[in-house]
Structure 1
Amino acid sequence: MSKVYDLAVIGGGVIGLAHAATAARRGKKVVLIERERRANGASIRNFGFITVTGQERGLSWELARRTRDVWAEVAPAAGIPIEHRGLYLSARSPEAMAVIEAFLATEMGEGCKALDAQGFRNLTEGLGGADLCGGLYSPHELRVESRHAIPLLTRWVAEGLGVDILPETVAFSSVPPRLETSRGVIEAGQVVVCPGDDFSTLWRDRIAAYDLKRCRLSMLRLADPGVRLPGALMSDLSLTRYAGYAALPEAAALRAKLLSEQPRHYENGVHLIVAQGGDGTLIVGDSHHYDDLPGPFAPASAEDDILDEYARATGRPAPAVLERWVGVYAVAADRTFLVDTPADDVRLVIVTSGTGASTCFGIAERVLDDLMGDK
């Protein structure tokens, strides 16, 4: 290929797309290399929920706030519908309400508010079981339909921003200025590698130093429940999973209570997110199982526990299951994402917490500020 690029991005999931879009919006000549025909991994197998509230305090929370703002700009330009906004987290015990009150006392609670049981029901068309104590409302989130949003974002990056996208192309090397690929040599001044959970193809030794594992999650699409949700739903289990809540001292009592009452939910790593599409159907999940290489065999008990938590949180039986699938993403015990410098003018970027859609643009801006400077 004769064209010389300022930046080559390897990996066409949401992290790679965010880097390509950010660089192109800054006037750079960009090529994006994707080994599959289209993104088919974690980026399309999730809720499409850009989550701010509950992200780990500090940098992750700040990156999510920035990413939410960029999504709000990019989605209309790319023709991506925003399905709904905001978060409603139901609480079934005084211990859960104590975590919510503690969260609201931090800087992360800005703009959020506690709801009593009736207030929660009024805003969610009567959802909530008999044991509902109240809940948390956040206005900060927005939601897109991942399986449609990622292809639309890809098209916009190509047609709207002028990025050259090379699908079904494997990069064998990633050190500029000449990258060896299955399409031949590509010339680029700088490179960002976004491998997702591919720990072997490029920079294997660098990735191995971070002791990453993989998480397999179970997801469901349920039939339209006949209710139009005002935003995404979460529940008590989320307060002990999302670090922005779970790191608060008040979460310890709630964790002990839930471990005693719902031990299998914890064994399956279940917490609840319910997101609704324009057609009324619900994306519901999820469970979490960790291993170096999780098998493709998800336990039926995980699905049962997800549906059980749906019923507990909403006070209604779960609608019929229309689809079910698993996703796999990279995880680390000590960080939500990593940025490594394996060579001059190369950055290796992996989100290690399942928060790619929620932090992608903030991470991309941070990485490219460092990589490109005034170049």
Structure 2
Amino acid sequence: MRAKRVDTVVVGGGIVGLAHALAAARGGDRVVLFERDDFAAGASIRNFGMIWAVGQQRGAVYERALRSREVWLEIAAMTGMWAAETGSLHLAHHEDEVAVLEEFLTASAPARERGARMVTAAEAAARGPAVREEGLLGALWSPTEVNVDPRAAIPAVAAHLAGEYGVEVRFGETVRGIDMPSVSTTAGEWRADRVYVCSGNDFATLYPDVFATSGLLRCKLQMMRTRVQPGGWQLGPMLCGGLTLLHYAAFEGLAAQAALRARLDTQLPYEREHGVHVLLSQTADGRLTIGDSHAYAGTHDPFQDEGINEAVLRYLRTFAKVPEPVVTERWEGHYPSLRDGRTELVVSPEPGVTVVNGVGGAGMTLSFGLAEEVVGHGAPAPTPTSANTPVPAGPRPG
């Protein structure tokens, strides 16, 4: 059978693959995307749906997140997909949390320029009915965060690619080998000028040697979702507390972090051991998404630890109150993570092929911007922690 011909092949139907298919199609390429599963079932639908620019590394990565935000809103306007510009509140119930937030604002002029600022406890409570005002000293308000419903958003983006740009989206078909310009799949042979391998947690099918030396580990997380909240109750801004200030790269390098870390290591050793920090978002139909924890390894056992779920809910109650906190769904997610400070893995194992992986827990936030950089220029703009540049080992959020 004669091989089919396209300009670009994308491997992977999660948000990273969809973003690269969109960037290539917008550039005029004929694109086919292959996803081995019958529908997207991985990390891209097992998350909060947060487009969380405020938490990203200050500088180029933050700007990448803002560009991704623009693309999400463009797609929502074209498709009618739910995308709520809710913003976010980082709630501070301790002086050391206030200190980190204030130092962040001092260090991040771009965030200030886009409206991030400290608000009083009363102002925070007025913005969000879930805010626990007792003992609240203040909060960081950021207007840039957008909430989507990942279980609906990922299929909507795939349908948008097919309908608007003519991308051939082929679910249930596996790419089993690449020898440029030939791409072998379980449904036949293709020829392409370019291939983007966005295979997520699959490190074995394509270019296993690349992944073996990449430094990638799999992050296992635990998350929960409540029933629909009564009476049309709305969360408003997405919420988080002090533990989050030790998780996201936006707060790395701030002097005030040391005191916060020392206190939380002492007061919440279980949460710190299991990588717990707590975020709260809402789905389009009114359910609340709560999480999460973080464990890093090459392979994880399949079991959830109910003690971790209890710790997440216990910490949530310290900064938020919701009408119906009854949990109706629990799940675990897995995503590839670089633990040495790099914000993504972008490598070319052979001419015409680019492997894109390792965006950690920020795939929904960064993928559209990253894809435009990769597709448009062949590699992300160099920053101290991007691409495949070696950096000193150290902690890596996400």
Task: Classify the secondary structure of the residue corresponding to 2:8.
Answer: strand
Aligned to 1:20: 21
Task: Classify the secondary structure of the residue corresponding to 2:176.
Answer: coil
Question: Does 2:110 align with 1:130?
Answer: no
Aligned to 1:90: 91
Question: Does 2:170 align with 1:169?
Answer: no
Aligned to 1:140: 144
For structure 2, list consecutive stretches of 5 or more residues without a partner in the other structure.
Answer: 380-398
Measure how far apart 1:129 and its partner are: 4.8
- Structure 2 CA distance for aligned equivalents of residues 137 and 370 of structure 1: 34
After superposition, residues 281-292 of structure 1 pair within 5 angstroms as 281-292=287-298
TM-score, structure 2 as length reference: 0.90
Letter in 2 for 1:243: A
- Structure 1 CA distance for aligned equivalents of residues 326 and 177 of structure 2: 47
Measure how far apart 1:280 and its partner are: 1.7
Aligned to 1:178: 182
**Residue in structure 1 matching 2:245, options 236, 239, 243:** 239
For structure 1, list consecutive stretches of 5 or more residues without a partner in the other structure.
Answer: none
Measure how far apart 1:126 and its partner are: 6.1
Measure how far apart 1:231 and its partner are: 1.7
Question: Does 2:253 align with 1:252?
Answer: no
Q: Is residue 128–residue 313 contact of structure 1 (8 Å, CA) maintained in 2?
A: yes
Q: Is residue 121–residue 133 contact of structure 2 (8 Å, CA) maintained in 1?
A: no
- Structure 1 CA distance for aligned equivalents of residues 57 and 158 of structure 2: 28
- Structure 2 CA distance for aligned equivalents of residues 108 and 262 of structure 1: 32
Which deviations, in whole Å up to 9, do the C-alpha atoms of 1:175-234 show, x marking residues without a partner? Answer: 321111111111111100001011111111111112211111111111345541222111
Aligned length: 372
Question: Does 2:361 align with 1:359?
Answer: no
Measure how far apart 1:32 and its partner are: 0.3
**Residue in structure 2 matching 1:339, options 340, 346, 355:** 346
Measure how far apart 1:316 and its partner are: 5.7
After superposition, residues 135-284 of structure 1 pair within 5 angstroms as 135-226=139-230, 227-284=233-290
Question: Does 2:323 align with 1:322?
Answer: no
Q: Is residue 3–residue 188 contact of structure 2 (8 Å, CA) maintained in 1?
A: no
- Structure 1 CA distance for aligned equivalents of residues 215 and 358 of structure 2: 14
Letter in 1 for 2:22: A
- Structure 2 CA distance for aligned equivalents of residues 323 and 14 of structure 1: 22
Task: Classify the secondary structure of the residue corresponding to 1:319.
Answer: coil
- Structure 1 CA distance for aligned equivalents of residues 110 and 264 of structure 2: 24
- Structure 2 CA distance for aligned equivalents of residues 337 and 361 of structure 1: 13
Aligned to 2:355: 348
Measure how far apart 1:263 and its partner are: 1.1
Q: Is residue 79–residue 152 contact of structure 1 (8 Å, CA) maintained in 2?
A: no
Aligned to 1:31: 32
Change (3 A) 1:98 1:128: same
Aligned to 2:307: 301
Q: Which stretch shows the higher mean deviation, 103-112 or 4-13? A: 103-112
Measure how far apart 1:64 and its partner are: 0.7
- Structure 2 CA distance for aligned equivalents of residues 283 and 339 of structure 1: 31
Q: Is residue 130–residue 315 contact of structure 1 (8 Å, CA) maintained in 2?
A: no
Q: Percent identity?
A: 37
Q: Which stretch shows the higher mean deviation, 312-321 or 347-356? A: 312-321
- Structure 2 CA distance for aligned equivalents of residues 247 and 336 of structure 1: 16
Aligned to 1:66: 67
Letter in 2 for 1:85: T
After superposition, residues 40-55 of structure 1 pair within 5 angstroms as 40-55=41-56
Letter in 1 for 2:333: G
Measure how far apart 1:107 and its partner are: 2.3
Aligned to 2:376: 369
- Structure 2 CA distance for aligned equivalents of residues 102 and 4 of structure 1: 54
Task: Classify the secondary structure of the residue corresponding to 1:294.
Answer: coil
Which deviations, in whole Å up to 9, do the C-alpha atoms of 1:85-108 show, x marking residues without a partner? Answer: 201111110100011101111224
Task: Classify the secondary structure of the residue corresponding to 2:98.
Answer: helix
Q: Is residue 117–residue 141 contact of structure 2 (8 Å, CA) maintained in 1?
A: yes
Task: Classify the secondary structure of the residue corresponding to 1:53.
Answer: helix
Task: Give the aligned CA root-mean-square deviation in angstroms.
Answer: 1.6
Letter in 2 for 1:371: G
Task: Classify the secondary structure of the residue corresponding to 1:57.
Answer: coil
Change (3 A) 1:84 1:229: farther
Measure how far apart 1:58 and its partner are: 2.4
Measure how far apart 1:25 and its partner are: 1.4
Task: Classify the secondary structure of the residue corresponding to 2:303.
Answer: coil
- Structure 1 CA distance for aligned equivalents of residues 252 and 213 of structure 2: 27
- Structure 2 CA distance for aligned equivalents of residues 365 and 156 of structure 1: 17
Which deviations, in whole Å up to 9, do the C-alpha atoms of 1:314-367 show, x marking residues without a partner? Answer: 156871001111100001112121100111111000034211010001110111
Change (3 A) 1:264 1:318: farther
